[in-house]
Amino acid sequence: MSTREDLFVSPSWLAGHLDDPDMAVVDGSWHLPSADRDARADYEAGHIPGAVFIDIDTIADTESPLPHMLPTPEEFAAAIGGLGIDEAQMIVVYDSVGLYSAPRVRWMFKIMGARTVRILNGGLPAWRAAGNDIESGTAHPRPRVFRTDFDAAAVRDLAAIRSHVDGRDVQVVDARAPERFAGTASEPRPGVSSGRIPGSFNLPATDLIANGRLKDADRIAGLFVQAGIDPAKPIVTSCGSGVTAAIVNLALETIGVEKSGLYDGSWAEWGGRADTPKHSGSA
Give the pLDDT of residue 2.
62
Known catalytic residue: 239?
Answer: yes
Indicate the CATH number of 4-150 among 3.40.50.2000, 3.40.50.720, 1.10.540.10, 3.40.250.10. Answer: 3.40.250.10
Give the number of other Cβ atoms within 10 Å of residue 78's Cβ.
15
Q: Residue 172: helix, strand or coil by DSSP?
A: strand
How far is the C-alpha of 245 from the C-alpha of 64, rounded, in Å? 19
The DSSP code sequence of 66-93 is STTPPPPHHHHHHHHHHTT--TTSEEEE
Annotated catalytic residue, options 39, 80, 203, 239: 239
In the chain, % of residues over pLDDT 70: 99
Q: Assign domain 153-270 to its CATH architecture.
A: 3-Layer(aba) Sandwich (3.40)
The pTM assigned to this predicted structure is: 0.96
pLDDT at 283 over 80: no
pLDDT reported for residue 93: 98
Could you tell me the residue ranges of all domains in the chain? 4-150, 153-270
Digit-coded pLDDT (tens) for 215-254: 999 999 999 999 999 999 999 999 999 999 999 999 999 9
